[in-house]
Structures are given as structure tokens and as C-alpha cells.
Amino acid sequence: MNAPDVKILCRNTRVILGRNLSLLMHTKSAKLNELDSNKKVSKKIGVSDNSVGRIRRGENSIGIDMLCRLANLFGVHEWELLCPSFDPDNRPALVTDPSERKMLELFRTPKPPSENT
């Protein structure tokens, strides 16, 4: 990957992060927890409200620490903030426990129609 490709990739990642942060700030939960404005979020994570605005517009790069603060503030995983298909109302389940994985597999496996129906 050459330098222009890296710049484009970084720009796209910043835009995705900004979009996902904006989506989170517009949820009912954010409104209830008073996390629905740049100013309110900025106070919680210790930056200026202008910085939050620049993050939401994809203009600012942030570090891992800031990514963690944002994720913790909204109760999501860090990787979710960087996921292009992120939907705060339909978050993916990250199953790590083998028994949970088996249960999820059984739940997702279609069952044949029963003879009684």
C-alpha cells in the first residue's frame, strides 16, 4: 500500500468513526444519559466541544485512549466504533464462551417443519 492509499484509508476510518459517534449520540439512551450534544460528550471525556465536532465530521484523528473513552462512555466495544456497518439499535453479538457459541448456533439453525403443523 503506498502513501496515498494509507491517507485515504485513514480518512475513511475517521469518517466511519464520526458517523458512528453521531449515530450513538442520536439514540434514546444518549438523550436519557445526556450524551446528545458535543458539549455534553466533551465534558465527559475531557476535551473541547469543538474537538468532538471535528471527530464527528471525520476531521480529527484520535488515539487509542480517546477511542476507549468514547466506547466506555456509550457502552460499546472499541471495534464497533470503527465498523462501517455499525447500527446502535442492532449491535452484533460477540460470543466468546463455547457454551454460548453452541447455544447461538442451535438458535440460528433452521428447524424443519414439524409433521404436526
Please name the residues in contact with 17: beta carbons below 8 A apart, sequence gap of 6 or more.
Answer: 55, 58, 62, 67, 81, 82
Q: Quickly state the pLDDT bin for 116 (edges 50, 70, 90).
A: low
pLDDT at 117 over 60: no
Length reported for the chain: 117
* HEC-encoded secondary structure of 73-100: HHCCCHHHHCCCCCCCCCCCCCCCCHHH
Predicted pLDDT at 54: 97
Predicted pLDDT at 34: 92
Q: Quickly state the pLDDT bin for 8 (edges 50, 70, 90).
A: confident
61: its cell numbers: 484523528
Residues 57 and 9: their CA atoms lie apart, in Å, by: 16
Predicted pLDDT at 10: 75
CA angle 92, 98, 100 (to 5 degrees): 50
Q: What is the topology classification, in CATH, of domain 3-87? A: 434 Repressor (Amino-terminal Domain) (1.10.260)
Indicate the helix (H) or strand (E) that contains 22: helix 3-25
Predicted pLDDT at 1: 60
pLDDT tens-place string over residues 26-71:
998 898 889 999 999 999 999 999 999 999 999 999 999 999 999 9
pLDDT at 5 over 60: yes
**8 A C-beta contact, residue 56 and residue 38:** yes
Locate the domains of the chain by residue range.
3-87
pTM assigned to the model: 0.74
Give the CA count within 13 Å in the CB-facing half-sphere of 115.
Answer: 0
pLDDT tens-place string over residues 66-105:
999 999 999 998 999 999 989 998 887 666 677 776 776 7
